[in-house]
A and B are shown apart, each in its own frame.
Chain A
Amino acid sequence: MDKDRKKWMAFCSANRVYLIFAAVFVLMSLFAPRFFNTYNIGTLLGTAMLNGIVVIGFTIVLICGHLDLSTVAIINVAGNLAIYMVQKTGSFGAGILAAVVAGIVIGIVNGLLVTRAKINSFIATLGMSTLLQGLVSYSNNAATRSITDFTMTDFLDKKLIPIVPNRALIAIIIVLLVHFFMSRTTMGKNFYLVGGNVESAWYAGIRPEHYLIGAFSLNGAFAALGGALYACYLASAMADIGAMGVSPLNMLIAASVLGGASLAGGRGSILHSFFGVLTLTALYNGLTCFKLGYEMQIFVNGIVLMIVVLMEAVSLYRKNKLAGSKSDLFKQAQN
């Protein structure tokens, strides 16, 4: 009986994000008006595109035990650069390519600041964020750039398979590919090793600094890809996407923590983080169905994050408190 319960608990904690997602989805379908229909679910999946792609890189950096505060600034740089390139060359491919290259370069600089200059990632990326945001705002005097070419919008809105719009399909394919890379290949697993214990990673013959630079540049690449695709979809790019409603940074942190990533590093999964994004998007979408504005979204975002973090911390606290006590040793002996 006790063993069954333990198994059940382990299952629950391993698949926490799926259970929360299912709960949110079912509750919203039951109670929120006009939530459960193909049109709204398509919209929901489409809305998750930007954060769904960006969260990939964000989670990889978290797995390495670092935090990248410049992610939102990279999204803005990428969006503006992509729209600018489309204005100049008329080709969406050139715009997205330029944005991704810029993202990778920014990521490498971040990585070098953290590994070579040995600056705390929180501080280095904070400075980087101020710098980049200033550049973006300066380049167009904080105005929104826009184009009148809507071919990309039409393409991303089309549905190659029913219900799922193309932009969601792209996000899902990228998430699955990177998830496979991170969980099945040696190189992907090394990221976890670097985040879990740098020293033992070094002893295992891994160069931690290479992986850190890799993680930051992957974050730059995915943030830029997400930002560029989103800007091309809207056919416009704001100077600061974070100034409107729920900032992507808040969403990213909440989603990845919901998906089991920790700021201490070594934990997290791309697929879980993606489901974290889906859960929060479904929650926001449902709240909008109730005609509640983003005031409520910010509040609920906070409550969800608070509960998840608190639950995790309390269980760890209990475990630590019992560790080494008579009842704990007894339990260990029994297993």
Chain B
Amino acid sequence: MKKANILEFVSRFGTYMIVIILVGLGCVISDKFLSTTNLINILDAVSYLGILASGMALVTYCGQSVDLSTPSTIAVASFVSILTLRFGMIPMILCTLLSGALIGLFNGLIVGKFRINTVVWTLAVSFVFAGLIRVIFGSANIYVTTGNTRAFEQISRYRISGRIPLGVVVMVALMIGLHIFVSRSRIGRQLKLVGCSELVARYSGINVLRIITLSFVGSGMAAAITGLFIASLSKSACYNYGTGYEFRAITAVVLSGMVLDGGRGSIAGVLGGVLAIGLLNNIMTLLGLNSFLQDVVTGIVFIVIVWFTNYTKTKLEALNG
């Protein structure tokens, strides 16, 4: 019984244990690690990833594996934000969110209705939108020219009371909001049930199509927010701004203890996963590791952690009969 308790604890709080281990490691390695500037830098470095991952986690939680259309959604959102800036800040933000929501709606309706494999479908959607942007704008960047340029730049540069970047605040607020929504609300519980077993969900009268669509809309909107921040940071929009983000977000989601079959884990865990990535990168940079070697280490750590999580899960299931 005791063993079961330990395993249960590990499988539930495993992500935070990794975070604590990494923080400990960081303290040993460098005395600069625990300075406020460094800690804020760690958060700042992963804030866009965190925003994206919290949205994608909804799709995974709902049992739809992963949303690979996010890179294109990020790119589309960055273009929409710059093109609509001339109408003012509020309409620009609304239009950007709407573009993400529409792509999510499109994905969700098709995947939910026809039960297409999510990986293949979202990949196809990703090509279509990336190709569309590249055809229209000829693979070139567009820059901020009209509208309130200063305010647009400030989205990614503004620091609350001069210290905490807006991106971090948005990430933490989004995570807290989504965590409460998923764990406390009725729709949140329906998400979990659809993730655990779609058939059971359908037979208990849940509108499965609506729930799946909702998760994709959430993912699309989160990607749109990420796109807005990236556009503001670089003061431009380009077709490749989202490249690579999808796999990093998947890494964060998987490290959080969510399984691709859905129904497990929590949004708070995703924060842990994102922090683990941030801490790992920070420690390796403090050690002065080459960025390609950082990739190698990230790959190894990723596989080992997933292996360990799987191991505890299977042991736990064996103990519980």
Contacts and interface: CB of A to CB of B under 8 A. Distances in A.
A250 B246 CA distance: 14
B65 interface: yes
Given A130-B295, A310-B110, A298 B116 contact: no
Given A128-B303, A309-B116, A317-B115, A302 B124 contact: yes
Given A127-B303, A295-B138, A263 B120 contact: yes
Interface in A162-217: none
A313 B293 contact: no
A242 to B, nearest CB: 10
A305 B123 CA distance: 9
Nearest to A129: B299
Interface in B100-141: 110, 113-117, 119-121, 123-132, 134-135, 138-139
B296 to A, nearest CB: 4
B306 A67 contact: no
B260 interface: yes
A253 interface: yes
Contacts of A310: 110, 114, 116
Contacts of B259: 120
Contacts of A122: 65-66, 119, 260
A307 to B, nearest CB: 9
Given A119-B306, A126-B247, A306-B124, A300 B131 contact: yes
B292 interface: yes
Contacts of A314: 114
Contact of B293 (A67, A138, A142, A263): A138
Nearest to B131: A299
Contact of B290 (A138, A257, A302): A138
Interface in A113-143: 113, 117-120, 122-124, 126-135, 137-138, 141-142
Interface residues of B, number: 48
A112 to B, nearest CB: 11
A94 to B, nearest CB: 26
Nearest to A135: B296
A103 to B, nearest CB: 17
A293 interface: yes
A262 B114 CA distance: 15
B16 interface: no
A134 B293 contact: yes
A305 B120 contact: yes
B40 to A, nearest CB: 27
Contacts of A131: 295-296, 298-300, 303
B299 A298 contact: no
B251 interface: yes
A172 B250 CA distance: 37
A303 interface: yes
B293 A126 contact: no
Given A299-B134, A306-B128, A138 B292 contact: yes
B295 A253 contact: no
B114 A299 contact: no
6 shortest interchain CB distances as A-B pairs: A299-B131, A302-B127, A134-B295, A131-B299, A302-B128, A295-B134
Interface of B: 65-66, 110, 113-117, 119-121, 123-132, 134-135, 138-139, 247, 250-251, 254, 259-260, 290, 292-300, 302-303, 306-307, 310-311, 314
Given A127-B302, A142-B292, A298-B127, 8 more contacts: A120-B260, A127-B300, A300-B131, A305-B120, A309-B116, A309-B120, A310-B116, A317-B115
18 contacts: A118-B314, A122-B66, A122-B260, A124-B303, A128-B299, A128-B303, A138-B290, A250-B127, A262-B117, A264-B117, A293-B139, A300-B131, A302-B128, A302-B131, A305-B127, A306-B124, A309-B117, A309-B120
